[in-house]
Amino acid sequence: MPPETAPAADPSAKTQRTKDVESWPTLKRFLPYLWPRDNSQLRTRIVIAMALVLAAKAVTLALPFAYKGAVDAMSGGARDGATVALALVAAYALGRFTSVAFDNLRNIAFERVGQVATLHLAEDVFQRLHRLSLRFHLARRTGEVTKIIERGTKSIDQMLYFLLFNIAPTIIELIAVGVIFYLNFGIELVAATAVTVVAYVWVTRAITEWRTKLRREMNDLDGKALHRAVDSLLNYETVKYFGAEKREEARYSQAARAYAEAAIKSENSVGLLNMAQALITNALVAAAMAYTVWGWSTGSMTVGDLVLVNTYLIQLFRPLDVLGWVYRTIRQGLIDMAEMFRLIDTDIEVKDKPGAPALIVNRPTVVFDNVTFGYDPGRTILNGLSFEVPAGSTTAIVGPSGAGKSTIGRLLFRFYDPLSGRVLVGGEDIAGVTQESVRAAIGIVPQDSVLFNEDLAYNIAYGAEGADQVMIEQAARDAALMPLVDRLPDRFATMVGERGLKLSGGEKQRVAIARTLVKNPPILLLDEATSALDTRTEQEILATLRRIAQGRTTLAIAHRLSTIADADNILVLDHGRLAESGDHAVLLKRGGLYAEMWNRQANERREEPETEAAE
């Protein structure tokens, strides 16, 4: 569903928007899920379910009269009333069964509606998350986001069920009981019932609003505890490296203990609410039964009237008790859904222009035209950077840490848009074409190749949708991955573990290369693809990279200069600007920043064998 947006720059507007989202207008956000316009079958199911609700309620309202008739027949003293009493008792039992049957048929008819609504909401949230910017995902807490989605999607199913099958039927029953009481017992009993219901609703709402604050605190602490647990487990190795198990346990215990205290307060408040509700409802029961006993003593009412009033009040308070729980659940659900809707409403930083065409790459060139960019307003990373990568050539980008090398890759994939200037691929400004087509034209072998917790075949085939086994094996062969595959008992069906941790660094890089080969892009980005590898593995990977780069336009971002010395052109960045450019020989002769970096790294390489010999 389309997100609601608000001016993010106005703090007061944001505060008001948050307040509105957490109030009853939030219900409007999921009405399309309740009554889907494009699915007549689901709408029919809702109509059938509502008809069954009305039928069950009609049977329930008729039952007390059968009960009253049986009691009056038995209290009349005549033995011939036994047949009538038996018939009424049978009708009462049949009515109770029919009411239960209608309720369950209603649930069967509605179940698909609730599940489909939950499914569509979950799909909308998941789709939105993948369209949010890299900036959002770098700042997110995975555990909290997961919890928000889980609670929010579960809430909608509860909302649909309670609105249709609890609130609406209870209102119908309140009106019907009021009419029955007025016709049979006068306005006094109607007035007493109305005052009791109003008091019940007011007390329930007041205490529930107080509990809502406790629920919000519980959600925050629950998300914090989950985030600490997930973060610690994802960094399992780091925890072990520094012997920080006790520290992590203490951090998690602190968050879990705070959540437990909030949960205790919340559950205690439930007891207070239940006692207040019971006091109100039992006061009415006592008063109403005393009223009918008085009527019986004056001869204006029968014993059956006492049973009738008592039965109606019990039936009425049963949904009223549920209504109190429903109201609490809805208020809690509104908080959960508000968090999820705020997630949906998060602004998409990088958007395609309306009607943007797909990028068509006839000549795979890359051009940065006077590009200025910074992640934060006060910190500029690239300052008017301009360069061109000709089609079919290999261009390397080097420079000190913080010079903006990796930022170039993120701009090229359009994870961010430049503050000024243009990025052109194949002569087209990528800001004017679809992001999907831009990313389809570029393949990447990153420094840290993160794999899915699936098998080898899945991770290789991820490069292109619909890749078959022949393509997978050919890519593995071209990436020099087959020696590994042949050693594995399950070959391509071998599970790689979470983030690919069952493979070595070099093996993960080869999987990343194979994945890119399956994609078969005209432009290749190597983002420090060997910097985390040992020398021997690095040389093997470099040989593979040089082979797959043939016939493609290659942009290689590197820290170790020896890995890009054979590039057609080398761009040297310094503080986000192009300091110098040329091939390896030209830059060494120039004696500038590149030569300085080369000599320093050469000295480090010479010192390494000396250090090893001394050891």
The token duo for 146 is 């997961």
CA distances, 397 to each of 293, 302, 403 (Å): 95, 97, 10
Structure confidence by residue, pLDDT tens digits, 211-225: 777 777 777 777 777
Helices (H), 235-302: 236-241, 245-297
CA distances, 15 to each of 7, 134, 214, 339 (Å): 11, 25, 20, 14
50 sits in which H/E element: helix 40-75
Query: CA gyration radius for the chain?
Result: 35
Q: Output the pLDDT for position 614.
A: 44
Q: Which residues of the chain have pLDDT under 70?
A: 1-27, 33-34, 67, 76-85, 88, 130-144, 157, 160, 322-325, 328, 499, 531-538, 604-615
Q: How far is CA 306 from the centre of its chain?
A: 54
- Torsion of Cα atoms, 223 then 228 then 229 then 234, to 10°: 120
**Is residue 474 within 8 Å of 482, Cβ to Cβ?**
no
Cα distance between residue 457 and residue 468, in whole Å = 9
CA distances, 58 to each of 1, 52, 53, 172 (Å): 37, 10, 9, 10
Query: Strands 382-389 and 366-373, how do they pair?
Result: antiparallel
* Coil, helix or strand at residue 344: helix
* Coil, helix or strand at residue 320: helix
Q: Output the pLDDT for position 404.
A: 79
Burial (CB count within 10 angstroms: exposed 0-12, middle 13-18, buried 19+), residue 309: buried
Residues with Cβ < 8 Å from 209, sequence gap 6 or more? 331
Greatest alpha-carbon span in the chain? 124
**Is residue 293 within 8 Å of 306, Cβ to Cβ?**
yes
The token duo for 176 is 């019907």
Q: Output the pLDDT for position 268.
A: 79
Structure confidence by residue, pLDDT tens digits, 340-366: 777 777 777 778 788 888 888 888 889
Q: Output the pLDDT for position 612.
A: 44
**220-245 exposure pattern, b = at least 16 Cβ within 10 A, e = fewer:** ebbbbbbbbbbebeeeeeebeeeeee
Cα distance between residue 157 and residue 26, in whole Å = 15
**Is residue 158 within 8 Å of 325, Cβ to Cβ?**
no
Cα distance between residue 602 and residue 503, in whole Å = 31
User: pTM for the full model?
Assistant: 0.60
Q: What is the CATH number of domain 11-345?
A: 1.20.1560.10
The token duo for 63 is 């039952």
Q: Output the pLDDT for position 615.
A: 44
Q: Output the pLDDT for position 164.
A: 74
Cα distance between residue 45 and residue 66, in whole Å = 32
The per-residue pLDDT of the chain, averaged, comes to 77
Cα distance between residue 287 and residue 190, in whole Å = 12
Nearest Cα residue to 163 out of 24, 66, 283: 24
* Coil, helix or strand at residue 391: coil
Burial (CB count within 10 angstroms: exposed 0-12, middle 13-18, buried 19+), residue 411: buried
CA distances, 113 to each of 2, 39, 48, 333 (Å): 21, 10, 12, 18
Q: How far is CA 350 from the centre of its chain?
A: 20
Residue 578 pairs in a beta bridge with: 573
Strand order in the sheet with 420-425: 382-389, 366-373, 420-425, 428-429
Nearest Cα residue to 181 out of 324, 64, 55: 64
Residue 467 has φ and ψ, to the nearest 5°, of -65, 130
Superfamily of structural domain 366-441+521-614: P-loop containing nucleotide triphosphate hydrolases (3.40.50.300)
Cα distance between residue 272 and residue 604, in whole Å = 72
Query: Strands 382-389 and 523-527, how do they pair?
Result: unpaired
In DSSP notation, 127-161 reads HHHHHS-HHHHHH--HHHHHHHHHHHHHHHHHHHH
The token duo for 375 is 């992640």
Side-chain half-sphere CA neighbours of 101 within 13 A: 7
Cα distance between residue 405 and residue 382, in whole Å = 9
Cα distance between residue 429 and residue 43, in whole Å = 46
Domain residue limits, the chain? 11-345, 366-441+521-614, 451-515
Q: How far is CA 388 from the centre of its chain?
A: 40
Burial (CB count within 10 angstroms: exposed 0-12, middle 13-18, buried 19+), residue 540: middle
